[in-house]
Chains A and B, each alone.
Chain A
Amino acid sequence: SYELTQPLSVSVALGQTARITCGGSNVEIENVNWYQQSPGQAPVMVINRDSSRPSGIPERFSGSNSGTTATLTISRAQVGDEADYYCQVWDSGTAVFGGGTKLTVL
C-alpha cells in the first residue's frame, strides 16, 4: 500500500518560513492535499491539488509537489499556525494520510 512520510515535528521562528515535507514514491504524479488540525479542533483543508488554496486560507500558505516530495510552505509564521499538519493522496480508491507533522512556532 502507498505510504506518505512526514517529519514528526518542525519548528520555526515567529515571522519566518516553515516548510513541511511529505514524501512518497513518485508523489509528483499524485494530487496532494494538506490539512491543518489545531488542538482540539477538526481538520481544515489548507491546500488541495498540490498548490490550490481554498477560499479563506491566507496567502501565506502555499504548496508544491516535485519528484518524491510534496511541500507545504507557511510564510511569516504566526503563533496561530501552531498545529498538526497532514498530507493526503488517493491510491487505488483509498485515501492515504501522512502521519502528521507538529508545527511549533518559537
Chain B
Amino acid sequence: EVHLVGSGGALVQPGRSLRLSCAASGFTFDDYAMHWVRQTPGKGLEWVSGISWNGGKTGYAGAVRGRFTISRDNAKNSLYLQMNRLRPEDTALYYCVRGPDSSGYYFDHWGQGTLVTVSS
C-alpha cells in the first residue's frame, strides 16, 4: 500500500524559511514523479511544484517560483520542499502527492498533509 507521510509544517513568521519533508513507502519511489499541492483552509487546491523521477526536471507555480525549491533523495525515498521568504498567503495544508510525470498526467496518491502557518 502506498504511504506518503509529510512532516515539517509549523507556525513561522513572514520572511522566514521552512523545509517540508515527505517519506514515501509501499512503492518504488524512483519510478515516479512527485509533487507538492497545497490547500488553503476551507478553500481549493493549488499545485505548488513537481519533480521528475530522477530530479532532472522541476516545475513551479508562479506564486512560489524563485522562493521554493523542490528536491528528492531516492536513496531515502524522500521528497522535500524548501520554502524561503514565506508570506502569509503561503499558509496552507501542504500535500505530498505522487504522479506518473512531473508536468503531466494525474495525481494518483496523496499524503495526509502537513500544515504551514505564516503569521507574525
Contacts from A to B (Cβ < 8 Å): 1, 31, 33, 35, 42-45, 48-49, 54, 86, 88, 90, 93-100
Whether, in the assembled complex, B82 has its beta carbon less than 8 Å from a beta carbon of chain A, the answer is no
- Total contacts A-B at CB 8 Å: 57
10 A-B residue pairs with Cβ-Cβ distance under 8 Å, sorted by A, are: A33-B106, A42-B111, A43-B45, A88-B107, A90-B105, A93-B103, A94-B47, A95-B107, A98-B44, A99-B44
Seen from chain B, the residues whose Cβ lies within 8 Å of a Cβ on chain A are 35, 37, 44-47, 50, 59, 61-62, 95, 103-113
Residues A95 and B44 in contact in the complex (CB < 8 Å), given A42-B113, A44-B110, A90-B104: no
CB distance from A75 to the nearest CB of B (A): 22
Q: Which residues of A contact B37 (CB under 8 A)?
A: 95
Contact A86 B44 (CB under 8 A): yes
Tell me which residues across on chain B come within 8 A of A98, comparing CB atoms.
44
Decide yes or no: A95 and B47 within 8 Å by CB, A48-B105, A90-B103, A90-B104 being known contacts: yes
Q: Which residues of B contact A43 (CB under 8 A)?
A: 45, 95, 107, 110
Q: Which of B59, B108, B109, B113 contacts A94 (CB 8 A)?
A: B59
- Shortest distance from the beta carbon of A98 to any chain B beta carbon, whole Å: 8
**Contact: A97 with B110, CB < 8 Å?**
no
